[in-house]
Amino acid sequence: MMERRRKRRLMSAAADIPMQACPPFLRWAGSKRRLVPVLKTFWTKDHKRYVEPFSGSACLFFALEPPKAILGDLNPELISTYVEVKYRIDAVLKELAKLPPWNKDEYMRLRSQDTSKLEPPARAARFIYLNRFCFNGIYRTNLKGQFNVPYSGNGCGAMPQDEVFQLCSRRLRRARFVRGDFEKVLKQAQKGDLVYMDPPYAVRARRVFREYDPATFSHDDIARLRSWMERLNTAGIDFIVSYAESDEADLLKKGFSYKTIAVRRNVAGFAAHRAMTNELLISNI
């Protein structure tokens, strides 16, 4: 009897252990969390620093636990949230504790808030709350720059436990942050870095979700990204690029090694319409 109880406790404890030792505290449409086991294999003992110019949920950063990192993104709210979680996690958690879970009225109230009147920890808590309970982890703004993604409900899961935030905070202390275009980050890359680039999609031929406004990443940016891949390669800097199978991916992969991996998209409007698609991992390693 005692043995059966012990086994049940162990099974219950195992169920509570996240698949990733340090899961990201944010949801992010287009996240490569499912590819983390494969992406982790690119990191070696020779790499001294991790660099990611399109951070999003930074799932690979949290999984790798690199000694140093540069995390960049064009989204100022995202970068500000990472800064607050890094330096003032207790204040952020205090603000989150004031907010009820799975509450549409509270979600809509926060969504309509004037963030200029909020203190940084409260602003970060607002971003985390909206990210957790919005539709599919999408980040989208209207022409006025106001977040306008609808409420999702309880299908998106509970808010991460405080321990997850604390662990993420400790890992973020090894990172510095850059707000701006991906070139601003890549200019700081050097030999010994592993650069991971997961840009928003700029695909004309089919409906693929873009994390930001479509104008944020264009086909001209694909050409700029390809140019930077060549520059990094010439400088002897290791990189990985993940991109959906497409004409754009054909341009990015030319002359480099790549793997094609089937993944299930989690960005469609309804679960029944989510399908397996091919993702390319392009690298000079």
pLDDT, one tens digit per residue, over 163-190 is: 999 999 999 999 999 999 999 999 999 9
Between residues 285 and 102, the one the model is more confident about: 285
Identify the weakest region by mean pLDDT among 94-103, 150-159, 206-215: 206-215
Domains held by the chain: number? 1
> How confident is the model at residue 26, as a pLDDT?
95
Mean pLDDT of 115-139: 93
Q: What confidence score (pLDDT) does residue 84 get?
A: 98
Q: What is the mean pLDDT of residues 51-77?
A: 96
DSSP per-residue letters across 183-234: HHHHTT--TTEEEEE-PPP--SSS----SS-GGGS-HHHHHHHHHHHHHHHH
- Beta-carbon count within 10 A of 113 CB: 16
Question: Residue 257: beta bridge partners?
Answer: 283
Using CB atoms within 10 Å of the CB of residue 191, give its burial: 0 to 12 exposed, 13 to 18 middle, 19+ buried.
Answer: exposed
Assigned domain for 276 exists: yes
133/165 Cα distance (integer angstroms) = 17
Residue 15 lies in a domain: no
Q: Would you say 200 and 212 are in contact if contact means Cβ atoms under 8 Å apart?
A: yes
Inform me whether the pLDDT recorded for 266 exceeds 70.
Answer: no
* 164 within a domain of the structure (yes/no): yes
Is residue 8 one of the residues assigned to a domain? no
Mean pLDDT, rounded, of the chain: 86
Burial of 9-18, coded b for 16+ CB within 10 Å and e otherwise, reads eeeeeeeeee
Average confidence (pLDDT) over 181-204:
91
CATH number of the domain enclosing 242:
3.40.50.150
Main-chain phi, psi angles of 252, to 5 degrees: -70, -35
Examine residue 175 and state whether it is found in any structural domain, yes or no.
yes
- In-domain check, residue 12: no
d(CA 177, CA 168): 15
Residue matched to tokens 């990015």? 252
How crowded is residue 209: how many other Cβ atoms within 10 Å of its Cβ?
18
In this prediction, residues 116-143 reach a mean pLDDT of 92
Does the residue 212 lie in any domain?
yes
CA–CA dist 82, 76 (Å, integer): 10
Torsion of CA 263, 267, 273, 279, to 10 degrees: -20
CA within 13 Å, CB half, 221: 16
Q: Residues 11-45: pLDDT tens digits?
A: 333 333 345 689 999 998 877 888 999 999 999 99
Contact indicator for 193, 50 with CB cutoff of 8 Å: yes
pLDDT, residue 1, reads 40
DSSP state of 281: E
State the Cα–Cα distance between residues 40 and 23, nearest whole angstrom: 14
Higher confidence at residue 226 or residue 7?
Answer: 226
* pLDDT surpasses 70 at 109: yes
> With bands split at pLDDT 50, 70 and 90, how would you rate the model's confidence at 102?
confident
- What is the CA angle 170-172-174, rounded to 5? 90
| pLDDT on residue 3 | 38
For residue 13, being part of any structural domain is answered with no
User: For 216-262, how does the pLDDT look when each residue is reduced to its tens digit (9 = 90+)?
Assistant: 678 889 999 999 999 999 999 999 999 999 999 999 999 999 999 98
pTM score of the predicted model: 0.85
- The reported pLDDT for the residue numbered 190 is 98
List of E strands, the chain: 49-52, 69-73, 175-179, 193-197, 238-244, 257-264, 276-283
Query: Residues 22, 28, 29, 35: what is their CA dihedral angle, to the nearest 10 degrees?
Result: -20
Residue 182 lies in domain:
20-283
